[in-house]
Amino acid sequence: MPDPLLQMTGLDAHYGDFQALYGVGMVVREGEVLAIIGANGAGKTTLMRSVTGLITNDAGQIRFKGQDISGLRADQVAELGLAMVPEGRQLFPSLTVEENLLIGAQTGRKGPWTLEAVNALFPILKERRAVPATALSGGQQQMVAIGRALMSNPELILFDEISLGLAPIIIRDIYAALPGIIGEGMSAIIVEQDISKALSVSGRVYCLQEGRVSLEGASATISREDISRAYFGIE
Amino acid sequence: MDWLNALIQGTLLGGLYALFAAGLSLIFGVMRLVNIAHGDLIVLAAYLGLVVTSAIGVHPILAMALVVPAMTLIGYALQRGLLNQTLGDDLLPPLLVTFGLSVILQNGLLEGFSADPQKLSAPGLETASVALGSISLGVLPLLTFGIAVAVIWGLQWTFYKTSLGRAFRAVSDNQDIAQLMGLNKRHIFGLAMALALAVTAVAGILLGLRTSFDPSSGGGRLIFGFEAVIIGGLGNLWGTLAGGVILGVAQTIGAKIDPGWQVLSGHIAFLVILAIRPQGLFPRMSG
Ligand SMILES: Nc1ncnc2c1ncn2[C@@H]1O[C@H](COP(=O)(O)OP(=O)(O)OP(=O)(O)O)[C@@H](O)[C@H]1O
Ligand SMILES: [Mg+2]
């Protein structure tokens, strides 16, 4: 079997004295869409920050395409083909919509995603290209955040709670667009609190609870009971 | 007519102050670093100009062709080698380190060049003037002002129309997310300091042409730079030019009333504006 695209082994993460992740192990295979679910404070965002290099980890804990990336800086990880749509969107307020998208292309990675392609996916962004990104509605800002991540033509894209703070109808539209986005030979990790949304777009799912993996399984067959036990820690 | 003259001379002087301020403003805008050594770096540039002009006998303006690249390299090396290590959530370490750097620069210059005042000389340029009605305008102040406008325009263009400027603004907005986009903030900070010191090099040469300088001249330039930045409003380069002009005009008007009041009236104008509009006259806006 070929190396998995991304592999975490015994991943620990700390904020000062506080330990947020305890020996997490996960794999993402090429072309796979993985969901990570878990309650508030379970460590989902911490996991994303570790993988993308915003938190540095001890050697050997994270491998991407067979290479140990645990100690790399976030810009080095980005250049290898890993992108993230961060929690809360986090657009650059001093940059226009178009500049936010263009900065996503900073790594210079070539592929199907160009400014034209993102504008074709989300036509409203072309219309509003010259306004400051933070002047857009929440849903449009999320489109910019997704487009910005796509612009680096990543092999693996991480979505951290893309439905957070958005109206249900907008969430539905964004999830409807996801398969088309991920379809282009990309793998994805989707972090969500909305379990049914997460299961509907993913092949496999991991559940995090207080910094540990509490459940793993195929999204189609995993039982709801097991999930609520793993999610809330109810025995 | 005398007052009009003072107004015009003050405006032209303001161009020099804007050049002192531009690098300070750029550095604070991109990385929230307050560079206490900024004035001493201006003086260092003036001394580099002195070395170049006396070593190869070129005109001080032409010496910029060597001093600007030299200061650019010094800026990048200084940032990567020293200042990046001081940046973090706490504003104090960079303040202390640049204060130390200021002391080191002053003492280094004292060792190398003694405390004697020096001047860059350009005989034709210093005395040349053009008449405008009954007012006589010095060619050097006019040139200085023209260069200041060109430099501010160039910085503004860089900030808002180039990918480097986009990177500066992105890193300034959110360092983590900028890093996620593939920008190495340490390198971007290095480029920002390089650009700031390139401007400082120009300012230093023009300072040396206008007045004499010695190793302890930096502090005063730092204060004028700070005042121009604060008057104009943080993060606005055209505001910085306006701030320099207001400071320059306040000084020449003050000097007109009583020659001893030149510097004092600049400080008073600064304090008045700070009291009325603490955010400066033209706070941050986009291009
Ligand atoms: N910067 C920080 N400093 C200290 N502790 C932090 C920090 N960020 C997160 N934590 C703690 O780490 C734990 C995991 O937080 P994390 O943000 O990864 O959770 P999460 O699963 O993403 O939660 P949510 O669903 O609310 O986004 C929490 O207990 C949180 O309080
Ligand atoms: Mg989170």
B166/A95 Cβ within 8 A: yes
User: How many residue pairs from chains A and B have C-beta atoms closer than 8 A?
Assistant: 66
Beta bridge pairs of residue A63? A7, A68
Residue indicated by tokens 């995603």: A113
Torsion A143-A149-A154-A155 (CA) sign: negative
Closest to B265 in 3D by CA, of B6, B4, B1: B6
pLDDT of amino acid A1: 59
Taking 60 as the threshold, does the pLDDT of residue B285 lie above it? no
A104 chain-B contacts, CB cut-off 8 A = 181
Distance CA A34, CA B37 (A): 52
DSSP type of residue A21: E
Per-residue pLDDT of B202-230, as tens digits, reads 999 999 999 999 999 999 999 999 999 99
State the DSSP H helix or E strand holding residue A51, giving kind and residue range, or none if neither.
helix A44-52
Q: The complex's ipTM?
A: 0.92
Q: How far is B179 from chain A (nearest CA, A)?
A: 5
Tell whether B89 is covered by a domain.
yes
Nearby residues of B70 by Cβ (< 8 Å), 6 or more positions away: B48, B201
Closest to B64 in 3D by CA, of B206, B194, B196, B190: B206
Position B20, amino acid: F
Ligand nearest to the CA of A41: 1
State the DSSP H helix or E strand holding residue A224, giving kind and residue range, or none if neither.
helix A224-232
Position B36, amino acid: I
pLDDT of amino acid B93: 95
Q: How far is B184 from chain A (nearest CA, A)?
A: 6
Q: Which residue from B minimizes the CA distance to A55?
A: B176
State the DSSP H helix or E strand holding residue A218, giving kind and residue range, or none if neither.
strand A212-218
pLDDT of amino acid A226: 86
Residues A62, A138: contact at Cβ < 8 Å? no
Label residue B20 by pLDDT band (50, 70, 90): very high
DSSP type of residue A106: G
B170 chain-A contacts, CB cut-off 8 A = 92, 94-95, 103
A6-90+154-232 maps to which CATH number? 3.40.50.300
Percent of chain B with pLDDT over 70: 98
Question: Does any CB of chain A come closer than 8 Å to the CB of residue B170?
Answer: yes
Per-residue pLDDT of B126-149, as tens digits, reads 888 898 888 889 999 999 999 999
Angle at the Cα of A184 (from A112 to A173), degrees rounded to 5?
A: 105
Distance CA B142, CA B273 (A): 27
Domain containing residue B263: 2-113+138-276
Distance CA A228, CA A230 (A): 5
Name the domain count of chain B: 1
Three-state secondary structure readout of chain B: CHHHHHHHHHHHHHHHHHHHHHHHHHHHHHHCCCCCCHHHHHHHHHHHHHHHHHHHCCCHHHHHHHHHHHHHHHHHHHHHHCHHHHCCCCCHHHHHHHHHHHHHHHHHHHHHHCCCCECCCCHHHHHCEEEECCEEEEHHHHHHHHHHHHHHHHHHHHHHHCHHHHHHHHHHHCHHHHHHCCCCHHHHHHHHHHHHHHHHHHHHHHHHHHCCECCCCHHHHHHHHHHHHHHHCCCCHHHHHHHHHHHHHHHHHHHHHCHHHHHHHHHHHHHHHHHHCCCCCCCCCCC
A95/B180 Cβ within 8 A: no
Does residue A43's CB lie within 6 angstroms of at least one atom of ligand 1? yes
- CA neighbours closer than 13 Å in the CB half-sphere of residue B108: 13
How are strands ordered across the β-sheet holding A6-15?
Answer: A18-28, A6-15, A62-64, A67-68
CATH code (residue B14): 1.10.3470
For residue A63, the SS3 value is strand
Ligand nearest to the CA of A54: 1
Question: Does any CB of chain A come closer than 8 Å to the CB of residue B162?
Answer: no
Distance CA B221, CA B234 (A): 18
Which residue's CA is the nearest one to ligand 1's atom 25?
Answer: A40
B174 chain-A contacts, CB cut-off 8 A = 90, 92
Taking 60 as the threshold, does the pLDDT of residue B39 lie above it? yes
Distance CA A119, CA B36 (A): 45
Tell whether B236 is covered by a domain.
yes
Each residue's pLDDT, cut to its tens digit, for chain A (235 residues) gives: 567 999 999 999 999 999 999 999 999 999 999 999 999 999 999 999 999 999 999 999 999 999 999 999 999 999 999 999 999 999 999 999 999 999 999 999 999 999 999 999 999 999 999 999 999 999 999 999 999 999 999 999 999 999 888 999 989 888 888 888 887 789 999 999 888 889 999 999 999 999 999 999 999 888 888 888 888 776 5
pLDDT of amino acid A235: 53
Does residue A104's CB lie within 6 angstroms of at least one atom of ligand 1? no
Residues B35, B82: contact at Cβ < 8 Å? no
pLDDT of amino acid A125: 95
Q: What is the mean pLDDT of residues B176-201?
A: 97
Q: What is the mean pLDDT of residues B153-179?
A: 96
Distance CA A158, CA A149 (A): 9
* pTM (2 d.p.): 0.93
The two structure tokens encoding residue A143: 């489109």
Tell whether B127 is covered by a domain.
no
H helices present in A63-202, as ranges: 74-79, 97-104, 115-121, 123-127, 138-150, 168-182, 195-201
Question: Does any CB of chain A come closer than 8 Å to the CB of residue B275?
Answer: no
Q: Residue B43 CA to chain centroid, in angstroms?
A: 11
For the CA of A38, the closest atom of ligand 1 is: 21
Percent of chain B with pLDDT over 90: 82
Does residue A17's CB lie within 6 angstroms of at least one atom of ligand 1? no
pLDDT of amino acid A2: 67
The two structure tokens encoding residue A217: 């399984």
pLDDT of amino acid B286: 47
* Nearest residue, CB atoms, A92 vs list B163, B173, B179: B173
Separation of CA A48 and ligand 2 centre (Å)? 9
pLDDT of amino acid B287: 41
